[in-house]
A and B are shown apart, each in its own frame.
Chain A
């Protein structure tokens, strides 16, 4: 949880794994890496057991590139597929109980602010649609209403992937799943609308089709959460297992969903926009409120 903590004490160097030494020497620390540089530096995530070709895996990978200061970040997650990769990062990962992610993150962020008043520490919640829109729903909403300063990222695969295909609040109406054989009866929840109602200052809906944009949105969301208030990213991260998407077609699927009903949307409050402009004048200009 700081560059000093990451570095290996010389006496222990020979006992550390190659992977860890590579990370300290050739990792992304100290300088914001670009998506176009992927493959030329050691990334924060190690090997993990998420399924082949999973869009959620790709989204998590890109998220780690976007983090402005991974060495000063804590991840909070819960049961669900994403934690399989999140727990293999060199970032402290708190495995919250299913349902309490945003309560844990609230306390954690407040504690960190007290303990490290001089050094911003970023808290990022990353969990599934089941974790955030169903079981964790009340803690998510309350953290937004209380204006807790951390980022919530929903890995929305529109199903409970990890437990074999139950419908979630974020599943589309009519979707037939293994454990929703008659098709879901109710509409997909409007989490973006709820975030707006709670006056969340930065809200984004996106997919994995544009890797640079994923990293840039994550960066903005984390920076805004430091100074202004809660931020929310809702990302379509298909489950190729439960929706039977052939893996070579995963990106095509994201593209077609993007065109159909999951277009890129970015809402930013005036205060958040002014803040971004004050720290990165050029970049913030590109941030227009867009409705797709």
Chain B
């Protein structure tokens, strides 16, 4: 198992700061949904460097990103499956952090 970055969309959507999207080294990995006003992660592209976590914690000061075991996410967004198509993002099931870790 391995860790991936996960955005708490309820915190992020309050701010719409878009800082992590500019500092993630990987392309199209932290995506930004203009409708839901939140960042979210394509888990299959995340290399778990945690740069986004430190940007959100120290630069944005919003603490919206945490590293989470991939197996503890239900319905994570996968670019290889969904492709890049913002018009279809609203049809996707919501990513849920499984209870045992969401304290």
Contacts and interface: CB of A to CB of B under 8 A. Distances in A.
Interface of A: 18-19, 21-22, 26, 35-36, 38-40, 42-47, 50-55, 57-58, 61-62, 64, 211-212, 247-252
Interface string B62-98: 0000000000000000000001111000000000000
A207 to B, nearest CB: 12
A19 B83 contact: yes
Given A39-B39, A40-B32, A211-B22, A47 B45 contact: yes
A273 B83 CA distance: 42
Contacts of B24: 58
Nearest to B32: A39
B51 interface: yes
B47 A53 contact: yes
Interface in B12-46: 18, 21-28, 30-32, 34, 39, 45
Contact of B51 (A22, A35, A40, A248): A248
A61 B25 contact: yes
A58 B18 contact: no
Nearest to B30: A39
B86 A40 contact: yes
B11 interface: no
Interface of B: 18, 21-28, 30-32, 34, 39, 45, 47-51, 53-55, 59, 83-86
Contacts of A42: 28, 84
Nearest to B53: A248
Given A39-B32, A50-B25, A248-B49, 9 more contacts: A38-B22, A40-B32, A46-B27, A53-B25, A57-B26, A62-B22, A211-B22, A248-B53, A248-B54
A53 B28 contact: no
Contact of A58 (B23, B28, B48): B23
A39 B59 CA distance: 18
A251 B86 CA distance: 29
Contact of B49 (A36, A45, A53, A252): A53
A55 B27 CA distance: 13
Contacts of B54: 248-249, 251-252
Contacts of A40: 31-32, 34, 86
Contacts of A51: 47
A51 B51 CA distance: 13
9 nearest CB pairs, A to B: A53-B49, A39-B32, A52-B47, A39-B21, A57-B25, A247-B49, A58-B25, A248-B50, A22-B84
B51 A39 contact: no
A251 B83 contact: no
Nearest to A85: B27
Contacts of B18: 36, 38-39
Contacts of A52: 25, 47-49
B27 A45 contact: yes
A212 B21 CA distance: 12
A39 B49 contact: no
